[in-house]
Structure 1
């Protein structure tokens, strides 16, 4: 992410003010923006609609905002700290504003700010694995009721969504596949669809074992083992069960349709 230079607040009525407050800081507050102003007030969420974020050679305009009301939490209930922004962008070389994000499975193009473990402001889109995993409930800035950080769960979810069994550099995946994701902490539960089998258990480093390849036509077990030799002896339904994956430290588990012979 390029360094954020400036936030111009183009809010209704601000032009009429004699001395509008100056921006003194912009950061992520959970899954929202927080703009701190010189008058000791702060703008968040829908208050930032109309604002323009300026990066090196890029302007990012916040056109609409809403809170995501469906992000699950461990033990029930929903989180209220994830915000979804419609955003447009234009570069120094282009005068027209264009949608910043690609369309997600619901056809929406949503920008999502979030804070990582280092509290730095990050941006993602609802169409990507990072944004999807936040909306699944694995908010990397949040913690479980027992105090454990959800950041490792989020990292494991991103690997799972990308089919990155061995590491982030080698992924086997396909858009639009139905994946049954679940955990042992009460955020996501299995649906146990009849045409899906256990696929793998996941940690922030990738899969701990693989019962079957999600998309064999994108690679076979030989290519998987070449990319991730640590999985040797852990790539079959017999060698990779939910019980073994949990014993090996998996935080997340998933089921998927076996697309063909491995």
Structure 2
């Protein structure tokens, strides 16, 4: 391996008389003995707004580790419909397939030679369906003299009728919105103006002004989408949506969205005061259903933070197994409970969607953060901390998401703890809790000479048996490739 020269000017946190790595040093009591613990409380850090956060032991916060995009159903106008779901940043979105729901007399052939014009009850066809924002005014045209700036064309003097929702309608009957006919100047092409219905969906019927004549029509809309094959549902429109927990299955246990809240509206005690002020993240109250659709209970239990209310879930790209390993997935996503560290690391700024379509440095920082927040020293999903233990974190991203502490001198009793990578600690300075001994750690133990000097310190020379000790973030980054760092009290 390449020779690494130590940073000689940096004072090391390990005293020369250290005899057991990170646990017993000089006058530091051994695990189990009474010892004063620095008085660091979550509320103190939150009130002081000094960058400290309350970490925890849980990774997902629920035994249900994944939800699948396939076979999603949405609750639309009182019934469940098939949809394709996806993640848009920190928000779940479903694309519901549009249907022509039923028929009507106007879709039947005309039997009377006197049936003509836009108001007749025969000889029309479904031209297409569109989506729009409820309450907005929508103009549809096929171009011509009236709307030179809107594309479209026609022949045969066609007429159009617009119906609310997915059901064809009769002129001025149930669901009728508007009728269009060639009435503008010298144009033989129809235009129609209507208000978008509450469903955000409309169905267009069309035909020749005189039944039996040849006609063609190329309609365009001033707003929304036409023609459309799906209706996008998000935010509160997803209440009642169900996601499968078994891949490739449309049966079995499901997760149902009971409530939807923008995270910018959720108040928390830690800085910046709201769960995510960006507005791009939504939190979900999720129920677990059995294969018969009966409620088994909530996905997330009660939030252990006093006054925090029920546990909410945030959707996060990628999947985490029980060992803390992460994999990218286009088939499924994670719903992390807000009191567990997948959600906390997201809330602390490490949002995987900031990388764009492909996983990048922010995704890796989120993964590293989940190891750090749980004190996963072994890199196998085991936690060696206690819920509510305050830590201060920062990162080496460019630009940084959590910058280094403005005051490089930590409070009394707080020291640099470790540099972290996706596999666990890259190097360590001390345990977070002396009583929680991570004996399974992969890092090698220090070897001491008779004077207490560490002989196999990786900062002096690196080989397969060196001990990865670091006293600050610079060492952790430069010598061991860490990208997330933290300091904590030695409890």
1:187 aligned residue (401, 420, 430): 401
Q: Bigger shift: 177-186 or 133-142?
A: 177-186
TM normalised by structure 2 equals 0.44
Shift of 1:51: 2.2
**2:472 alignment counterpart:** 241
**1:202 alignment counterpart:** 420
**C-alpha RMSD of matched pairs (Å):** 3.2
Q: Give the structure, 1 or 2, with the largest relative contact order (CA under 8 Å, sep 6 or more).
A: 2
**1:255 alignment counterpart:** 487
Residue 187 of structure 1 aligns to a residue in which SS?
coil
Task: Name structure 1 gaps, 5 residues minimum.
Answer: none
Can you list the C-alpha shifts for 1:62-103, whole angstroms capped at 9, x where unaligned?
Answer: 11111222899xxxx953322100111132489445221133
Distance 1:68 1:3 in 2: 22
Shift of 1:168: 2.6
**2:7 alignment counterpart:** none
- Residue 41 (1) aligns with residue 255 (2): no
Residue 134 of structure 1 aligns to a residue in which SS?
helix
Distance 1:204 1:55 in 2: 26
Residues 69 and 331 of structure 2 are in contact (CA less than 8 Å); yes or no, is this contact kept in structure 1?
A: no
Residue 353 of structure 2 aligns to a residue in which SS?
coil
- Residue 62 (1) aligns with residue 62 (2): no
Residue 435 of structure 2 aligns to a residue in which SS?
helix
Residue 176 of structure 1 aligns to a residue in which SS?
coil
- Residue 28 (1) aligns with residue 87 (2): yes
**1:113 alignment counterpart:** 315
Residues 69 and 84 of structure 2 are in contact (CA less than 8 Å); yes or no, is this contact kept in structure 1?
A: no
| 1:219–1:6 Cα change, 3 Å | same
Distance 2:67 2:242 in 1: 15
Equivalent residue runs for 1:140-179 within 5 Å: 140-143=352-355, 149-179=361-391
Aligned residues: 242
**1:215 alignment counterpart:** 433
TM normalised by structure 1 equals 0.78
Query: Any runs of at least 4 consecutive aligned residues in structure 1 with deviations exceeding 6 A, and if so which?
Result: none
**1:9 alignment counterpart:** 74
Structure with more helix by fraction? 1
Shift of 1:46: 2.2
Distance 1:64 1:159 in 2: 30
Q: Bigger shift: 180-189 or 92-101?
A: 92-101
**1:103 alignment counterpart:** 302
Residue 420 of structure 2 aligns to a residue in which SS?
strand
Distance 1:6 1:86 in 2: 20
- Residue 86 (1) aligns with residue 285 (2): yes
Residue 218 of structure 1 aligns to a residue in which SS?
coil
Distance 1:174 1:79 in 2: 30
Residue 314 of structure 2 aligns to a residue in which SS?
strand
| 1:95–1:231 Cα change, 3 Å | farther
Residue 47 of structure 1 aligns to a residue in which SS?
helix
Can you list the C-alpha shifts for 1:134-174, whole angstroms capped at 9, x where unaligned?
Answer: 11110112239xx9531111111011012112413443221
The structure with more radius of gyration: 2
Residue 217 of structure 1 aligns to a residue in which SS?
coil
**2:18 alignment counterpart:** none
